[in-house]
């Protein structure tokens, strides 16, 4: 497919105006208000859940012995995984000099920031005594105690903290030039002050640009290992355990692939409507969607490979517990979850081999949605299937979700979209300065 990455008619001026007008001029649509109201209601549900949780304890969830982790952790892993794609697109593709990333990286990064923030809620509220979460951080306390450094939960804690801070700053730094644009184009005093403060006086001086570019390059170079490490840590939260199904060395790459997979799914789920409602066809072209679809397929195939290798290893190992666990997945109480996952994550994506499917936005959107669902179920199964049947048959049990388990899942989705909708209204959807850069490059290449 060789449609240009940026419609030829878009000049510096036009593209700047079109993108900035979405935030500055365009009136708030009814559809946006509707979506906002909906996500607000869901978020309120989450809020109620949090209050009730703090009042009563994690017992309001369906947790039990032996299944002491379930929905909340599944939600956490799912969200943080979704976060990954944003960083990968803005960092990884930047390093790979993929020009087509420019149109995507802004909202993808926004997605990252919000997804990571939302995911961060869960590990904290999941504690029996959430108000002591800071005991995971090393600080000189009156007890003369330290965190237990060997625990993957501590590794994960440091990983989330680092990831959250870095991704927020990375997002903000990338925004500064565009904020300057908004400042300069804003007509009302209020907007000028708002964007003026955020732009901290950026003027686009050549040496500033120089340092800015160096930093961006270095941040990108660090963001990539960061996300990979973060997802490896998340994987270690399980594989440090000795449970059959958890105690596995393939988890880190497996998780990274899964994260990319669901992340691209979310990028599509967000991008297709954005493109449609804000008429961004000139910037998010067919070619962008096509590339995303291909990436999602690639990541998906890797995930499917790890499903296969998981099964193979289980039986190849000859370990009684591993085999039993594999059989439980295939035929046990949660087999239906397993087959749902296979349907969503293995079967559905095969359609992406066909260009016609990749070109149909509806199909793409649907498949991306399936992938997101499949990946949630995958996290759920991964956690519960190992816990509910472990070593001693006497302690085998089941997990039954409660009203509040559902509330936290739905609520977190609400919160995510609440934040994303605000982003859509207040910040530029596309990185204007990078598009201008791209335009210039295309011209140079054209000439």
Partner 1 sequence: MTRPTARDALRTRLGDSRGPRYWRALEEIIEQPAWRSRLHEAFPQLARLEPALDRRDFLKLIGASLALAGLGACSRPPQEQIVPWVRRPDQLPPALPRFYASTLACAGDVAGVLVETHQGRPTKIEGNPAHPMSLGATTPAMQAAVLELWDPDRSQGPVHDGVAASWDAFRAEAGRLAARFARDGHGLHVLGGRLDSPTLAAQRDAWLARFPGAQWHAYEAIDDDNALAGARLAFGTPLRTRHRVDRARVILALEADFLGSQPGSLRHARDFIAGRDPASEEFNRLYVVEASPTLTGARADHRWALDSAHIGMVALELGDLLGLPGVHAPQASGMSARRLRALARDLADQRGTSLVLAGRTQPPWVHALAHLLNEALGNVGHTVDYYEPAEPWVSSADGLRELTRAMAAGTVDTLLLLDGNPLYATPVDAQFARLLARVPHRIHLGLYRDETALACQWHLPRSHALEGWSDLRAADGTASPVQPVIAPLYDSRSTHELLAMFLGDTQSPRERVQATWHADDDAWRASLQSGVIPHSAPPAQHPRVDDAFLGHIPTPADQPGLELLFAPDPTVWDGRYANNGWLQELPKPLTALTWSNVALVSPELALAHDLKNGDALEMRIDGRHTQAPVWVMPGQAARSVTVWLGYGRRHAGRVGGQLGFDAYALRTAAAPWRVDGLRVNRTDAHYALATTQRHHAMEGRAPVRATTLDAFRTDPAIAQGHAQDPPSLYPDRLHGDYAWGMSVDLNACIGCGACTIACQAENNIPVVGAAEVERGREMHWIRVDRYYEGDVRAPRIHHQPVPCMHCEHAPCEVVCPVGATVHDAEGLNVQVYNRCVGTRFCSNNCPYKVRRFNFLQYSDLHTETLKAQRNPDVTVRNRGVMEKCTYCIQRIETAHIAADKAGRRIADGEVLTACQAVCPTQAIVFGDQQDPATAVSRQKASPRHYTLLEELNTRPRTTYLASIRNPHPALEDDA
Partner 2 sequence: MTQIFHPRFGLVVKLTLLALLALASAAVLAWRGLTNEAHRVGEAVEQPVPFSHKHHVGDDGIDCRYCHDTVETSSFAGIPPISTCMTCHSQLYTDQAVLQPVVESWQRGVALHWNRVHQLPDFVYFNHSIHVAKGVGCESCHGRVDRMPLTLRTQSLSMEWCLDCHRAPQKYLRPRTQVFTMGWKAKDQEKLGLALVERYHIDTRRLTDCSVCHR
Partner 3 sequence: MNTPYESRPHERGWLARFDDAGALLLAVRELRGRGYTQLEAYTPYPVEGLAQALGPMRNRIPLLVLLGGLAGGFGTLLLQWYASVIDYPINVGGRPDASWPAFIPAALEMTILFAALFGIVGMFFANGLPRLNHPLFDVPGFEAASRDGFFLWLRADDPCFDAALAHDDLARLAPLAIDRVGS
- Could you list the residues that contact partner 2 (CB under 8 A)? 142-145, 183-184, 192-193, 196-197, 201
Q: Does 207 bind partner 3 (CB under 8 A)?
A: yes
Which of left, alpha, beta for 279 (phi over 0: left; psi -120 to 50: alpha)?
left
Cβ–Cβ under 8 Å, residues 264 and 215: no
Cβ–Cβ under 8 Å, residues 58 and 126: yes
207 preceded by a cis bond (ω within 30 of 0): no
66 binds, among partner 2, partner 1, partner 3, none (CB under 5 to 8 A by kind): partner 1
| Residue of 34, 54, 95, 215 that binds partner 3 (CB under 8 A) | 215
Residue 238: phi and psi, rounded to 5, are -100, -45
The pair of three-digit structure tokens given for residue 61, joined into one six-digit string? 């969830």
- The torsion of the CA quartet 310, 315, 321, 324, rounded to 10 degrees, works out to 90
| Residue of 1, 95, 161, 398 that binds partner 3 (CB under 8 A) | 161
142 binds, among partner 2, partner 1, partner 3, none (CB under 5 to 8 A by kind): partner 2
Cα–Cα distance for residue pair 159/293, rounded to 1 Å? 29
- DSSP assignment of 381-415, as one string? HHHHHHHHS-S-GGG-------HHHHHHHHHHHHH
In the region spanning residues 121 to 160, those forming contacts with partner 1, defined by CB under 8 A, are 126-129, 131-133, 135-136, 143, 145-148, 150-154, 157
Site string for partner 3, 423-442 (x = CB under 8 A): ----------xx-xx--x--
Q: Let me know the angle formed at the C-alpha of 17 by 12 and 20, rounded to the nearest 5 degrees.
A: 120
Q: Closest distance between partner 3 and the C-beta of residue 247, in Å?
A: 15
Q: Closest distance between partner 1 and the C-beta of residue 219, in Å?
A: 29
Other beta carbons within 10 angstroms of residue 133's beta carbon come to: 14
316 binds, among partner 2, partner 3, partner 1, none (CB under 5 to 8 A by kind): none
In the region spanning residues 10 to 29, those forming contacts with partner 3, defined by CB under 8 A, are 11-13, 16-17
| Residue of 35, 38, 50, 58 that binds partner 1 (CB under 8 A) | 58
Q: Rule CB under 8 A: which residues touch partner 1?
A: 54-60, 62-69, 126-129, 131-133, 135-136, 143, 145-148, 150-154, 157, 237, 240-243, 320, 324, 332-337, 387, 390-404, 406
């Amino acid at each position: 497919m060789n449609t240009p990455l940026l419609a030829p008619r878009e000049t510096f001026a036009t593209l700047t105006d079109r993108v900035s007008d979405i935030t500055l001029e365009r009136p708030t649509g009814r559809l946006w208000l509707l979506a906002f109201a909906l996500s607000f209601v869901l978020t309120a549900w989450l809020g109620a859940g949090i209050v009730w949780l703090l009042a009563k304890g994690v017992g309001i969830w369906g947790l039990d012995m032996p299944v002491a982790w379930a929905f909340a952790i599944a939600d956490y892993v799912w969200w943080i995984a979704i976060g990954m794609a944003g960083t990968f697109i803005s960092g990884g593709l930047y390093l790979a000099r993929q020009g087509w990333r420019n149109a995507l990286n802004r909202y993808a990064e926004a997605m990252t920031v919000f997804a990571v923030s939302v995911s961060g809620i869960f590990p904290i509220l999941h504690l029996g005594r959430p108000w002591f979460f800071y005991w995971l951080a090393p600080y000189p306390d009156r007890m003369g105690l330290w965190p237990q450094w060997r625990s993957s939960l501590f590794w994960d804690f440091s990983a989330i903290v680092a990831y959250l801070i870095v991704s927020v700053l990375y997002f903000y730094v990338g925004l500064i030039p565009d904020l300057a644009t908004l400042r300069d184009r804003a007509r009302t005093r209020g907007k000028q002050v708002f964007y003026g403060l955020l732009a901290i006086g950026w003027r686009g001086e050549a040496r500033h640009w120089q340092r800015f570019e160096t930093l961006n390059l270095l941040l990108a170079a660090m963001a990539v290992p960061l996300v990979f490490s973060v997802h490896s840590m998340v994987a270690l939260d399980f594989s440090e355990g000795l449970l059959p199904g958890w105690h596995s060395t393939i988890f880190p790459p497996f998780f990274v692939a899964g994260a990319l997979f669901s992340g691209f799914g979310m990028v599509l789920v967000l991008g297709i409507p954005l493109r449609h409602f804000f008429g961004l066809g000139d910037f998010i072209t067919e070619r962008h969607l096509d590339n995303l679809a291909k990436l999602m397929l690639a990541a998906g195939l890797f995930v499917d490979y790890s499903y296969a290798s998981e099964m193979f290893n289980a039986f190849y190992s000859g370990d009684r517990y591993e085999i039993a666990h594999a059989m439980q997945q295939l035929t046990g109480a949660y087999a239906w979850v397993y087959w749902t996952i296979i349907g969503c994550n293995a079967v559905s994506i095969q359609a992406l081999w066909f260009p016609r499917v990749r070109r149909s936005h509806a199909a793409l959107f649907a498949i991306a949605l399936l992938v997101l669902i499949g990946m949630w179920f995958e996290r759920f199964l991964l956690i519960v299937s190992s816990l509910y049947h472990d070593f001693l048959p006497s302690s085998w049990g089941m997990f039954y979700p409660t009203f509040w388990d559902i509330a936290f899942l739905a609520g977190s989705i609400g919160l995510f979209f609440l934040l994303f909708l605000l982003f859509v209204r207040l910040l530029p959807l596309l990185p204007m300065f990078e598009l201008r850069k791209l335009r210039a490059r295309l011209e140079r290449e054209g000439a």
